[in-house]
């Protein structure tokens, strides 16, 4: 499974780590789904993601944005990551899971048109954003939504 965010926020960029903001629920959700402890050092968590057959990346390679909120991404400034070579090199990917609506929308607009038919055929699901900006949905409900969408893939990995 490939999990795609939109673009790292300021805390993640400063730390050089995905989902580094202390209130982002990503690692807590991953811990619930995979048993990977949040307290592990970042590099160990990444290693365990790979062992669980989970890939983590962003739709955007670069974009102009004031602050960390997805809503502040200047859409015309977005440069998408070239996902086709990655998907081609990993033909066993069965699900692309988007961490939030912005990642899904950017993928739809900028990445999907450039994909080969085999990559277009990969199942896709938009999940609730783990961002603290989306605090209206409690973490427990986010975990339930993520579990419902990705648990079959994790179990059959």
> What positions carry a catalytic annotation?
24
Residues 6+ apart with CB under 8 A from 20: 9, 11, 12, 14
Helices within the chain (DSSP H only) = 10-15, 26-34, 42-51, 83-89, 101-106, 117-120, 139-156
Say what the alpha-carbon torsion angle 57, 17, 145, 112 is, to the nearest 10 degrees: -20
* Partners of residue 4 on adjacent β-strands: 57, 98
Q: Helix or strand or coil: residue 123? A: strand
User: 101 burial class (0-12, 13-18, 19+ CB within 10 angstroms)?
Assistant: middle
* Partners of residue 13 on adjacent β-strands: none
């Amino acid at each position: 499974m490939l999990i795609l965010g939109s673009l790292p926020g300021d805390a993640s960029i400063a730390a050089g780590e995905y989902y580094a903001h202390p209130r982002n629920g990503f690692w807590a959700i991953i811990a619930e789904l995979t048993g990977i402890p949040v307290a592990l050092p970042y590099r160990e968590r990444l290693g365990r993601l790979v062992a669980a057959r989970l890939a983590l990346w962003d739709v955007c390679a670069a974009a102009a944005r004031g602050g960390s909120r997805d809503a502040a991404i200047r859409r015309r400034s977005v440069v998408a990551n070239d996902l086709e070579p990655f998907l081609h090199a990993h033909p066993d990917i069965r699900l692309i899971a988007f961490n939030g609506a912005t990642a899904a929308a950017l993928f739809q607009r900028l990445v999907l048109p450039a994909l080969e038919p085999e990559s277009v055929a990969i199942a896709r699901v938009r999940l609730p954003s783990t961002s603290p900006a989306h605090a209206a949905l409690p973490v427990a409900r986010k975990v339930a939504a993520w579990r419902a969408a990705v648990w079959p893939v994790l179990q059959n990995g």
